[in-house]
């Protein structure tokens, strides 16, 4: 680790992905500072070995070599960095790894504003879910300067099994993630539709799940999310409303490129319907609840 790289990092957003990433950084020997509004999450990370935790990163901004943002959307990224004054309090050349799922345009606007404070940005969305975040095996799809990649190498090594360098242009990483979310959303929606049809046909859902996960129709999203349906457990690791947001980003990207996306449009309608029905804060597999006339495990009639 040379002087150009990172020894201390603040992980901002200690949800299912952020907590795993923060713990991975602790295990890698980095000085980790945790930031979240949830006191339970802060206490959990503190007990795991974080140097310091707080609701406001400004309390230790001058100690940081890097910031990893794992919040929900661009509005939260901008609020954390600029509305709170954090960007102005970070040391010059601090590397900011923006790992929220945001539009390419938002990524470019954030980088332009960070440059005003002499800060370095890596446009670095992540994937892999809570389990891979916990083990330091996320997939990172990143774009940015060679300096940004070099400065953040210890963080990337700690948190990711695969790091894809999409190019130097900020926004490319965001676009790759948006395309990935097209697939993820469609796969969940298709899985929910298939399991709903099985329920309608009175096929036991655990049997249907077992067949699909051992046959050619399986996908990672089916195997992971439809297990929640079989178990009747809609405790969120990723919420319905996350896919309302992400599939709207997909739609906006397609509109800008004048490109038709019939399958992702159908999936967006399904997730929007689920949110409108009151399931927005439940696990994204709860999109299956939009289908009427079926009995689901753990769901009251």
| Domain spans of the chain, in order of start | 8-168, 176-290
Tokens of 147: 């300096």
At residue 16, the pLDDT reads: 87
Chain center to CA of 187 = 17
At residue 35, the pLDDT reads: 98
Task: Check residues 26 and 3 and name the one with the higher pLDDT.
Answer: 26
41-66 confidence digits (pLDDT tens): 999 999 999 999 999 999 999 999 99
At residue 290, the pLDDT reads: 98
pLDDT over threshold 90, residue 97: yes
Which distant-in-sequence residues (6+ apart) come within 8 Å of 234 by Cβ? 228, 279, 282, 283, 285, 286, 298
Percent of the chain with pLDDT over 70: 98
At residue 299, the pLDDT reads: 87
At residue 1, the pLDDT reads: 41
Question: If you average pLDDT over residues 177-193, what whole number do you get?
Answer: 98
Query: What separation in angstroms does the CA of 19 have from each of 138, 144, 158, 159, 166?
Result: 13, 24, 13, 11, 26
> How far apart are the C-alpha atoms of 284 and 171, rounded to whole Å?
26
> How far apart are the C-alpha atoms of 87 and 80, rounded to whole Å?
9
According to CATH, the topology of domain 8-168 is Rossmann fold (3.40.50)
pLDDT over threshold 80, residue 165: yes
CB atoms under 10 Å from CB of 300, counted, come to 4
> How far apart are the C-alpha atoms of 247 and 264, rounded to whole Å?
7
Confidence of residue 117 (pLDDT cuts 50, 70, 90): very high
CATH of 176-290 among 1.10.1040.50, 1.10.1740.10, 1.10.1040.10, 1.20.970.10: 1.10.1040.10
Q: How many CA atoms lie within 13 A of 25 on its CB side?
A: 31
pLDDT over threshold 50, residue 6: yes
- Closest by CA to 95, choosing from 24, 163, 27, 152, is 152
Which residues form the catalytic set? 177
Q: What is this structure's pTM?
A: 0.93
At residue 193, the pLDDT reads: 98
Ranking 108-117, 129-138, 272-281 by mean pLDDT, the lowest is 129-138
Question: If you average pLDDT over residues 140-163, what whole number do you get?
Answer: 98
202-241 confidence digits (pLDDT tens): 999 999 999 999 999 999 999 999 999 999 999 998 999 9
At residue 237, the pLDDT reads: 85
Sign of CA dihedral 70, 73, 77, 83: negative
Tokens of 131: 């389990």
At residue 301, the pLDDT reads: 65
Confidence of residue 4 (pLDDT cuts 50, 70, 90): low
């Amino acid at each position: 680790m040379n002087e150009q790289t990172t020894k201390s990092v603040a992980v901002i957003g200690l949800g299912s992905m952020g907590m795993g990433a923060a713990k991975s950084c602790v295990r890698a020997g980095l000085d980790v500072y945790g930031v979240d509004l949830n006191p339970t999450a802060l206490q959990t990370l503190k007990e795991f070995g974080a140097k310091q935790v707080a609701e406001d990163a400004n309390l230790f901004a001058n100690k940081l070599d890097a910031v990893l943002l794992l919040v929900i959307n661009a509005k939260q990224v901008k609020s954390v960095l600029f509305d709170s004054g954090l960007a102005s309090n970070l040391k010059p050349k601090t590397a900011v790894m923006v790992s929220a799922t945001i539009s390419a345009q938002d990524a470019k606007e954030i980088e332009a504003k960070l440059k005003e404070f002499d800060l370095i940005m890596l446009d670095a969305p992540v994937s892999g879910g809570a389990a891979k975040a916990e083990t330091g095996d996320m997939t990172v799809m990143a774009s940015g300067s060679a300096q940004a990649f070099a400065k953040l190498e210890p963080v990337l090594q700690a948190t990711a099994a695969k790091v894809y360098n999409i190019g130097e242009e900020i926004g490319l990483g965001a676009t790759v993630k948006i395309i990935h979310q097209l697939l993820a959303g469609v796969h969940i929606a298709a899985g929910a539709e298939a399991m709903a049809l099985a329920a309608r046909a009175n096929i036991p859902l655990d049997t249907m799940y077992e067949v699909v996960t051992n046959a050619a129709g399986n996908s990672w999203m089916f195997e992971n999310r439809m297990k929640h349906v079989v178990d009747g457990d809609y405790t969120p690791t990723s919420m319905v409303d996350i896919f309302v947001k992400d599939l709207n980003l997909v739609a906006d990207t397609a509109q800008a490129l004048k490109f038709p996306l019939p399958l992702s449009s159908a999936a967006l309608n399904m997730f929007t319907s689920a949110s409108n029905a009151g399931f927005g804060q439940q696990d994204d597999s709860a999109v299956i609840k939009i289908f009427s006339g079926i009995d689901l495990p753990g769901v009251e009639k």
